[in-house]
Chain A
Amino acid sequence: MAGNMVTSEFLVQVDHERCRKCKRCTLNCGFGVFDFKDRVTADTSKCVACHRCVVFCPEEAITVARNPLAFREHSSWDVDRRKAIWKQAQDSGMLLTGMGNDLPWLNVFDHLLIDACQVTNPSIDPLREPMELRTYLGRRPDRVEVERSDGGFKLDTEVGNIIKLDIPIMFSGMSYGSVSINVHKSLALAAQRLGTVMNTGEGGLHEELYPYGDHIIVQCASGRFGVHSEYLNKGVAVEIKVGQGAKPGIGGHLPGEKIGREVSSTRMIPVGTDALSPAPHHDIYSIEDLRQLIYALKEATGYKPVSVKIATVHNVAAIASGIARAGADIIYLDGFRGGTGASPAVVRDHVGIPLEIALAVVDQQLRSEGIRNWVSIIAAGGIRSSADVAKAIALGADAVGVGTAALIALGCRLCQKCYTGNCSWGIATQRPELVGRLDPDWGAERLVNLINAWSLELKEILGALGVNAVESLRGNRERLRSLGLDEMTTEILDVKPAGR
């Protein structure tokens, strides 16, 4: 009986007329597709369509195509479901995957439309007038008190510790270990140049990146990897990661083969041991425990802002309210499209709710309790473009986090095989020969280019809306309309349908 009943997803074809036998493809493929026996041969079963070979072939001799193998159509038993069963019947394991939910669930962002000015009020040209994107994160008082002092006024309220961002976009947490050191370096450099922050993810912070601490949020997750006093104090804020959009309620597992010397010393675990993050924090079994950890971290850092990251699950509004009342300064909402280095596909694809809806209900819940000032909201997990940024802000986000988009800027093709550690682009891998492919300076430039482009687009949107500061869009659902959403979803989003 055949050892593997799962047929290849992709076919790799080499045009031997064009091939000069330079063997670049054999070196470039992280998945070992190519071999050389007199001429290049390809094991198509290993191909993940990451395009590394195609991009680097000087003769354009390689094509990667979807395997056209015909399956008898069946609307319930689509091919992916059949393949999943073959795989599990063979290996009896959970099916792993990487990146975000790839099922065609309704994307709410794609059913929201942004307003613009015509006649009754003037739009503003961002090339001619100031257009402000500056954003502050953290708890702020409900009011400002002033006192008169010799002819002027003096501030009599302590605003507290808040983080200043030049743009309402930050880089989401991606751990060193799941991604390479050069990804972290690219993110840190870019965050510094953009005046924003990156997030370490749960794998600690490599010492080489300590100088970028003013542009880093350090994470404290259930495994406590790399968490020590100096680390906590290096960043501008500390984030407690409770959950992740791609795997709500699920812990993490970084296999031992990815724990080399550098990852080992950064994570503070022995070389070659698996890094297992428990599903819950074992010191947080309830909201009052969260409060204790929040204040422990504040005490440890001289009261830097503390962010709490949660996956958007059904009861997210009440959970967020509890987090605000537990003393968090920032709530980081990771939607069910959020990325991951590794997650069981069943969880990634079926657990949680869309970011857009979670964001709308969290913002409204905090407002109805009169505590919206207490926390800033970061929306992440499914932000694909500046349009998504604008819509998320209009729904109520103070800022957004981008992870997948940043990796795509660095070359990621969304092959979803991050968990294999074979990333040909040097992103989700610890293999030194692959890591070296990503030059941090090049990476940083790509990230800066991308985010600057989004910022320009965001300014253009604000100008069209007739406002010149991002806070006038923030939570301003009056400037959104829904199209093609059911009535209940529109009501939950608190937007009007197009035409109203």
Chain B
Amino acid sequence: MAFGDQYSRWRVDRSRVPAACGLSGVISEDGAMIGGDVIIESMKVIHDRGNGLGGGFAGYGIYPRYRDHYALHIMFEDPGGRAACEELLEADLQVQESEEIPTRPGPGIEDAPELRRYFAVPRPEKLAALAIGPDDFMVQLVMRINTTVPGTFVFSSGKNMGVFKAVGFAEDVGEFYRLPDYSGYCWIGHGRFPTNTPGWWGGAHPFNILDWAVVHNGEISSYGINKRYLEMFGYECTLLTDTEVMAYLFDMLVRKHGLPLEVACRVLAAPFWKDIDIEDDPASRALDEALRVVYSSALVNGPFAVIVGFSRGMVGLNDRIKLRPLVAAVKDDLLYISSEESAIRQICPRPDRVWAPNAGQPVIGELKGDV
């Protein structure tokens, strides 16, 4: 059964849903803790960039007690799904803790599925049997659950981080999940404006696999080939939305192919040949040529602005001709990235510097030490 089939009540067909959106993100490079209320406050200002059909957040550093466990956030539409899913989890994982995700039902958030979280690690004997690392094991498990277990969707699977998302305006989603009760060193948020069909909880941003969380404003016009390319490497794009390819591409390029983040960004938003051809440094030119030749199918084309959270920070990136807004600012050790300057000024009235990153130029905030 394909993933969309379980959610027929949410979907009218299996086509992708184009969406425009508002994004915001903040990181303390020193690893200072920032409350979840801060990112909610920022998202409030860009309320109008969403239309109430999807909002979400990812927080990093929020589960220090289980920092070495994968934190699985799972939504259940179907009680039978929960039983089947927990059976799978029990078979493959050592589950340290299992609990309901705390929520505060309020206005603007309706029709919530059952929401639970599991802190777990893969069973060593399972890893040994498959001869793969724990990350790959978790990716396979998440994809298996999401494609085979009825009415069940793993929407967060990283360590010491969590994704919280729902159908609703971002600020309402944040309050629903009681984000002010959490604190983390990095937060990203998203308000969605899908142009088709009622939103589905799983279709809200951020999209996540392992530690990668992507909030995205845009439409990936190259989706068809990005998806088919990822499928060649074992990724199943099941969510019927273009944003997930962004998460998987980062995962593949950085985690599996070992590319530095900056280099991965040069794959996703590749420089133009006209600029590569005149690069002075032959080593840099050779690298850019090789990236474009080898990773031509990973070029993400079409309008996009993304903020991608990862275990040590976040990166903001625009498409190669900057067709969607993205603004960055710094204040002391804090880096802010957002769709609009107003969303930054709301939580940082006097930044040291504010700028509009150039097309295809990543803005990267990374922890300086350990947290």
Residue A17 at the B interface, CB < 8 A? no
Once the chains bind, are A149 and B293 in contact (CB under 8 Å)?
no
The A127-143 residues at the B interface (CB cut-off 8 A) are 129-130, 132, 134, 136, 140-143
Give every chain B residue within 8 A of A132 (Cβ-Cβ): 272-273
When the two chains form their complex, are residues B301 and A472 in contact, meaning their CB atoms are under 8 A apart?
yes
A466/B303 in contact, CB under 8 A: yes
B244 to chain A minimum Cβ distance, whole angstroms, is 14
Question: How would you classify the secondary structure of chain A's contact residues: helix, strand, loop or mixed?
Answer: loop
A496 to B223 CA separation, bound complex (whole angstroms) = 14
User: A121 and B218: CB pair below 8 A?
Assistant: yes
Bound-state Cα–Cα, A373 to B294, Å: 8
In whole angstroms, how far apart are the Cα atoms of A276 and B291 in the complex?
Answer: 45
User: Does A388 lie at the interface of the complex (its beta carbon under 8 Å from any beta carbon of B)?
Assistant: no
User: Which of B60-68, B227-235, B347-355, B362-370 binds A?
Assistant: B227-235
A3: chain B residues within 8 A (beta carbon): none
Does B78 sit within 8 A of A, measured CB to CB? no
Q: Are A153 and B263 in contact (CB under 8 A)?
A: yes
- Extra 20 A-B pairs, beta carbons < 8 Å, given A154-B283, A162-B293, A469-B299: A117-B221, A121-B302, A129-B321, A140-B293, A144-B291, A144-B295, A146-B287, A153-B260, A153-B284, A153-B287, A155-B283, A465-B221, A466-B303, A467-B221, A468-B320, A468-B321, A474-B297, A475-B228, A475-B297, A478-B227
> Is the beta-carbon distance between B287 and A154 smaller than 8 angstroms?
yes
Query: A133-174, CB under 8 A of B: which get 1 and which 0?
Result: 010100011111110110011110101001000000000000
* Bound CA–CA A472/B257 (angstroms): 21
- Chain B residues contacting A155 (CB-CB under 8 Å) are 283, 286-287, 290
Decide yes or no: A140 and B259 within 8 Å by CB, A472-B299, A475-B225 being known contacts.
no
Complex Cα spacing A465 to B303, Å: 11
The verdict on A120 contacting B283 (CB below 8 Å), with A144-B290, A157-B290, A475-B225 known, is: no
Could you say which interface size class chain B belongs to? Answer: 35 or more
Partner pick for B233 among A124, A370, A474, A479, CB 8 A cutoff: A370
- Contact, CB under 8 Å: B294 / A140: yes
Q: Name the one of B224, B321, B323 contacting A121, with C-beta atoms under 8 angstroms.
A: B323
Query: What's the nearest-Cβ distance from chain B to residue A372, in Å?
Result: 6
Given A154-B287, A370-B233, A143 and B221 contact (CB-CB distance below 8 Å): no
**A496 and B13 alpha carbons, distance in the complex (Å):** 12
CA distance A145 to B264 in the complex (A): 11
Q: Is the CB of A467 within 8 A of B301?
A: yes
Which residues from A are CB-within-8-Å of B293?
A: 136, 140, 159, 162
CA distance A155 to B283 in the complex (A): 7
Most B CB contacts (10 A, CB to CB) among A124, A373, A465, A467 go to: A467
Residues of chain A with a CB closer than 8 A to B274's CB: 130
Contacts of B302 in A (CB 8 A): 121, 466-467, 472
Q: Give the interface centre of B221, B232, B281 by most chain A CB atoms within 10 Å.
A: B221
A500 within 8 A of B: yes
Contact flag A149-B283 (CB < 8 Å), given A121-B219, A370-B233, A373-B294:
yes
Known contacts A121-B18, A145-B258, A149-B283: A471-B225 contact under CB 8 Å: yes
**Is residue A304 within 8 Å, beta carbon to beta carbon, of the partner chain?**
no
Taking CB atoms, residues of chain A closer than 8 Å to B195 are 119-120
Residue numbers in B under 8 Å from A348 (CB-CB)? none
Task: Convert B1-38 into 0s and 1s, putting 1 for each residue whose CB lies closer than 8 angstroms to a CB of A.
Answer: 00000000000011110111000000000000000000
Q: Could you say which residues of chain A place their CB within 8 Å of the CB of B323?
A: 121-122
Q: Is A479's CB under 8 angstroms from B295's CB?
A: no
Q: Which of A141, A148, A157, A472 is the one whose CB lies under 8 Å from B221?
A: A472
Residues from chain A with a CB closer than 8 A to the CB of B136 are: none
Asked whether B262 is an interface residue with its Cβ less than 8 Å from the other chain, the reply is: yes
Q: How far is the CA of A473 from the CA of B303 in the complex (A)?
A: 15
Q: Which residues of the other chain, B, contact A153 by a CB distance below 8 angstroms?
A: 260, 262-263, 284, 287
Q: Which residue of A lies closest to B281 (CB)?
A: A152
Q: List 5 A-B contacts (CB under 8 A).
A: A132-B272, A467-B301, A476-B222, A478-B224, A500-B14
Contact present for B263 and A143 (CB under 8 Å): no
B296 adjacent to chain A (CB < 8 Å)? yes
Complex contact A476–B260 (CB within 8 A):
no
Q: Is the CB of B13 within 8 A of A500?
A: yes
Assembled-state Cα–Cα distance A473/B270 (Å): 15
The 9 closest A-B pairs by CB, nearest first: A478-B224, A472-B301, A472-B222, A476-B224, A471-B296, A120-B18, A121-B219, A467-B301, A476-B225
Q: Chain B residues near A500 (CB, 8 Å)?
A: 13-15
A477 interface residue per 8 A CB criterion: yes
Q: Establish whether residues B232 and A370, one from each chain, have CB atoms under 8 Å apart when the complex forms.
A: yes
Q: Which residues of B contact A149 (CB under 8 A)?
A: 283
Known A121-B323, A471-B296, A500-B13: A144·B224 in contact at CB below 8 Å: no
Task: Tell me whether A472 and B225 are in contact in the complex, defined as CB-CB below 8 angstroms, given that A120-B18, A141-B294 are known contacts.
Answer: yes
Q: Would you call B321 and A120 a contact (CB within 8 A)? A: no
**Is there an interface contact between B299 and A152, defined as CB atoms closer than 8 Å?**
no
Query: B residues within 8 A CB of A477?
Result: 224, 228
Once the chains are docked, how many angstroms separate the CA of A136 from the CA of B290?
11
Q: Which single residue of chain B is at the shortest CB-CB distance from A117?
A: B221
Q: Is the C-beta of A111 less than 8 angstroms from some C-beta in chain B?
A: no
Knowing A144-B259, A153-B262, A479-B224, the reply to whether A120 touches B219 (Cβ < 8 A) is: yes
CA distance A129 to B272 in the complex (A): 11
A143→B290 contact, CB < 8 A: no
Please, which residues of chain A bring their CB within 8 A of the CB of B272?
130, 132
Chain B 322-336: CB-based contact to A (< 8 A → 1; otherwise 0): 010000000000000
Residue from the set B15, B233, B281, B301 with the largest chain A CB neighbour count within 10 Å: B301
Contacts of A122 in B (CB 8 A): 303, 323
Instruction: Flag whether A367 is at the interface (Cβ < 8 A).
Output: yes
The distance in angstroms between the C-alpha atoms of A372 and B20, with both chains bound, is: 33
Whether B321 pairs with A146 at a CB distance below 8 angstroms is no
The B-contacting residues of A in range 445-500, CB under 8 angstroms, are 465-469, 471-479, 496, 500
Pairwise interchain contact A120-B20, C-beta atoms closer than 8 A:
yes
Which of chain B's residues have a CB closer than 8 A to the CB of A136? 293, 296
B320: chain A residues at CB < 8 Å are 468
Q: Which residues of B contact A143 (CB under 8 A)?
A: 257, 294
Chain A nearest CB: distance from B220 CB in Å?
9
Give the CA-CA distance A132 to B281 in the complex, in Å: 22
Whole-angstrom CA separation of A274 from B69 in the bound complex: 76
Which residue among A117, A149, A465, A469 has the maximum number of chain B CB atoms within 10 Å of its CB?
A469
What CA separation (Å) do A500 and B13 show in the bound complex?
8
Using Cβ atoms and an 8 Å threshold, which residues of chain B touch A129? 321
List, in ascending order, chain B residues with CB within 8 A of A148's CB: 260
Residues on B with beta carbons closer than 8 Å to the beta carbon of A476: 222-225, 228
Q: State the CA gap A473–B257 with chains docked (Å).
A: 24
Task: Write the nearest CB–CB distance from A115 to chain B, whole angstroms.
Answer: 9
Q: Is the beta-carbon distance between A367 and B232 smaller than 8 angstroms?
A: yes
Q: Which residue of B lies closest to A148 (CB)?
A: B260
CB distance from A158 to the nearest CB of B (A): 9
